[in-house]
Amino acid sequence: MLDLTGRLVVAVGGGPVSARRVKAFLDEGAVVRVVSPWLCEDLRDLADAGRIDWVERDYCGPTDLDRAWFAHTATGEPSVDREVAGDAGALRIWCVDATDASGTSASVAARADVSTPDGRVTVSAYAAGDPGLAVTVRDGVERALVSGTLDLRRTRTHRQHGQHGQHGWVALVGGGPGTDGLLTARGHELLASADVVVVDRLAPRAVVDRLPASVRVIDVGKTSGNHPVPQARINDILVEEAQRGLGVVRLKGGDPYVLGRGGEERDACQAHGIRVEVVPGVTSAVSVPAAAGIPVTHRGVARGFTVVTGHEDIPVLPTGGDHTLVLLMGVTQLARTAELLAQHGRSADCPVAVVERGFAPDQRTTFGTVATIGELARERGVQAPAVVVVGDVVRLGPDWRAGHEADGGTR
């Protein structure tokens, strides 16, 4: 690891290998001079943008290394690369020969950068001249960081706890439809750095269960008609914990910005000067129908879809079967919703599917039509969480025919 900020690096060679290394040097803040009679496209773009100094000719000896702190050679001509390395050694300049790692005094480690709320972590691996092994090790550590297997939480003594006006951070993380596998890599990274996790009922609970005991979990889960922790108090919790200098993940089901009130939570934090990151999640409006094999759009069947939470907006929604309606949190009022759909133009035989507990082992889909779904759902005891899909796309589900015709409506 070298601090190249503001220091000259000379790269000899204009091919893709040089391009990859030059980009890394620039990322480290180096001043880069490239010596080569030609440049590959990536290097030419950097030269055209004025980010590198291009000496358009072959390497001409030690004078090309004048004032350099570091040298890199990758001309593809072993004799030239040996000459550059030899000249650098005589001038006591560290040099990497990309074509002969054993013949030079420095090596470039396999590296990866992982972003955390507290800054960037650079993973570097060196395997004594075995680049393949170094890459394997680097990738393994990177995966552990991204997945949250490696705990990135700082010790409590390193946290500021709000001293001197320094706040922590808040991340609004979409947990998807509740299964671990659909939580994003960035979501895992942030959970690996959090001191406090404020969790919804429909968030991926298995991920929460695996958090270290040192992480404080605050459950603010809501059910239909039961909001033990009102939204205003949730906003306050996020602000209060971040003001203590802690890292806070607000882990939500679905996507924070799809009927999830994430915008209100972000506004509350930013009003107090707290840094907020929003991590999109896989919304249940699309993913849960997909779990039942139902696309919300399909060429020649449906060109668009609308997502709503209940029946209030039905009078102004498109009524054709070629426009899919997705209802979230709509089970309690499903019978009334079906009546309104019929009253405002939906055909009585328009197909409907209700997908309960999407992606769970006991996932169940009930099929019906606008005319029958209310009664079918009541008979079968359909309960939340569930997603209701209305439109011709329901017929594309693999279980539509068997479920709707063979046994009366459920799979």
Active site residue 329: yes
Catalytic residue among 64, 195, 252, 329: 329
Do 275 and 230 contact (CB within 8 A), yes or no?
Answer: no
Do 252 and 220 contact (CB within 8 A), yes or no?
Answer: no
DSSP conformation letters of 24-73: HHHHTT-EEEEE-S---HHHHHHHHTTSSEEE-S---SGGGGTT-SEEEE
Catalytic residue among 64, 200, 255, 392: 200
What residues have CB less than 8 Å from 139, skipping those under 6 apart?
A: 112
Do 225 and 175 contact (CB within 8 A), yes or no?
Answer: no
Q: How far is CA 364 from CA 68, 127, 201, 410, in A?
A: 67, 51, 19, 7
Active site residue 1: no
Name the strand (E) or helix (H) holding 339: helix 334-343
Helix (H, G, I), strand (E, B) or coil at 14: coil
C-alpha span between 236 and 405 (Å, rounded): 51
Q: What are phi and psi of 289, to 5 degrees?
A: -55, -40
Residue 253 structure tokens:
């089901």
Catalytic residue among 180, 222, 322, 399: 222
**Residue that the structure tokens 């959970």 belong to:** 191
C-alpha span between 253 and 281 (Å, rounded): 8
C-alpha span between 237 and 388 (Å, rounded): 32
C-alpha span between 254 and 398 (Å, rounded): 24
**Residue that the structure tokens 């998807």 belong to:** 176
How many residues are listed for the chain in this entry? 411
DSSP conformation letters of 186-240: HHHHHHTT-SEEEE-TTS-HHHHHTS-TTSEEEE---BTTB-SS-HHHHHHHHHH
407: β partners: none
Q: Which of 80, 79, 106, 108 is nearest to 92 (CA)?
A: 106
Catalytic residues: 200, 222, 329
